Amino acid sequence: AATNPGVIELKKDSFGAGSGVNPASMIADAPLPVLHRLKSYSFDEVTRNMLLLLEKVTPRGVLVLLNVPLSEFVRTDTGETSNLAAIKVAYLLCDATRLDVICGVQHRDAGATGRQSIDHVKSVFGDIDLPLLEFPVSNDISEHEVRDKLDPVLLGSEVQTCPGCAGSMTIRKATKGKSAGRIFWVCNHFPTCRGVTRA
């Protein structure tokens, strides 16, 4: 039968084994769509502000962990942890060496559900006899506000090694002189060792 000279006939197997063109390679060469991009800023404003403030005011040797389930550091007498696993403390301050818990920090949640959640967290921290510091849900919290609440908690927390004798240190607030109100790490072997570092 005569074929139309103006029509090019494509056979089904024209991209098959005999053609030298692999259809899979044509797909692979196409650029893949970008599904994920890095945000300009990590975390929401409130969380980012609090993390930066805690980094500023906490002394060396204190680690700030974010959104930690209560089950990671609390147990019940029955061994049941499902309720504890579902509820998180927003920021957990720990000794960076041993990961001993120092205190929790939580935002005062808005709404009934959030209120129930923070009440449960407060109840648990009361049971384990550790402080839970509360701050409003705001990116306007000042360094001074955080220091006012955190400094009394850190008093007596041994989380620093003395640079002089390698013994433990305790955080203390100066009450007299030109350094009054400032926080310092003081060696527990004072006055034998006079190791003092600014917190």
| Same domain for 121 and 50 | yes
The answer to whether the CB of 60 falls within 8 A of the CB of 70 is no
H/E run at residue 126: helix 112-127
**Cβ neighbours for 26, distance < 8 A, ≥ 6 positions apart:** none
| Same domain for 175 and 122 | no
Residues forming a β-bridge with 3: none
Burial 107-145 (b: 16+ CB within 10 A, else e): bebeeeeeeebbeebeebbeeeebebbebeeeeebeeee
| Same domain for 108 and 59 | yes
| Same domain for 165 and 140 | no
pLDDT of res. 72: 94
The answer to whether the CB of 171 falls within 8 A of the CB of 196 is no
pLDDT of res. 199: 63
Tokens at 98, concatenated? 């041993």
| Same domain for 164 and 142 | no
| Domain carrying residue 198 | 155-199
pTM (whole model) above 0.85 = no
Tokens at 143, concatenated? 């360094």
Can you say how many angstroms the Cα of residue 43 is from the centroid of all Cα atoms in its chain?
Answer: 10
| Same domain for 163 and 117 | no
**Domain termination site, one of 134, 154, 174:** 154
* Radius of gyration of the chain measured on its C-alpha atoms: 30
- 173 inside domain: yes
Grouped pLDDT means (10 residues each) for the chain, 199 residues? 58 55 62 86 90 90 93 87 86 92 86 64 91 90 89 68 80 73 77 83
Can you say how many angstroms the Cα of residue 44 is from the centroid of all Cα atoms in its chain?
Answer: 12
pLDDT of res. 158: 47
For tokens 């923070």, name the residue.
118
Q: Total domain count for the chain?
A: 2
